[in-house]
């Protein structure tokens, strides 16, 4: 007589070790997903402390993390007037503003972040904090850095 788990895999009494391993894997996977950067985040302006936008952070096919603006909360329909190249005068909603981040211990580093308001890019790193509820986003240029806290949606 077997017991079915959520994957519809029949596990007999003799397979107790398999059951424990599957349970452990599910627990670890849930924890990693809950504390990872993938998902939707409400951005908070570090200068005004007001909510700015909703950004979706996602993993690309090459394994790097990226983020795009889903919705502007303060200025819907705005375009990136100060951006260069292909992003100049394009809508900020839908724009990729974070890219190239690679896993580095408990954070993701080596990426780039675009500030559409200023049209400037910075080196970027992100780190999930507060048990997965907050994302610390840091932009760096030379020796200077600025951080924002984004909140999980």
CATH code at 120? Answer: 2.40.128.520
Specify the higher pLDDT residue, 81 or 35: 81
Cα 128 to Cα 5, 16, 18, 135: the distances in Å are: 31, 35, 32, 5
Same domain, residue pair 8 and 58: no
Same domain, residue pair 50 and 96: yes
Residue 46 has pLDDT above 80, yes or no: no
Domain count, the chain: 2
pLDDT at 11: 60
Domain containing residue 142: 37-152
3-state secondary structure of 101: strand
Same domain, residue pair 26 and 44: no
End-to-end CA distance of the chain: 43
Beta bridge partners of 110: none
Same domain, residue pair 126 and 62: yes
pLDDT at 104: 97
């Amino acid at each position: 007589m077997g017991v079915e788990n959520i994957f519809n895999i029949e596990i007999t009494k003799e397979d107790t070790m398999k059951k424990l391993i599957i349970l452990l894997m599910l627990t670890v996977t849930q924890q990693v997903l809950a504390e990872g950067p993938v998902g939707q985040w409400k951005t908070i302006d570090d200068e005004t402390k007001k909510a700015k936008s909703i950004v979706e952070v996602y993993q690309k096919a090459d394994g790097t993390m990226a983020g795009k603006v889903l919705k502007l909360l303060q200025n819907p329909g705005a375009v990136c007037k100060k951006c260069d190249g292909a992003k100049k005068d394009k809508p900020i909603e839908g724009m990729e503003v974070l890219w190239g981040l690679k896993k580095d211990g408990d954070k993701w580093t080596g990426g780039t972040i675009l500030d559409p308001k200023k049209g400037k890019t910075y080196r970027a790193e992100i780190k999930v904090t507060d048990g997965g509820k907050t994302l610390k986003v840091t932009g760096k240029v030379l020796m200077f850095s600025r951080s924002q806290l984004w909140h999980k949606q």
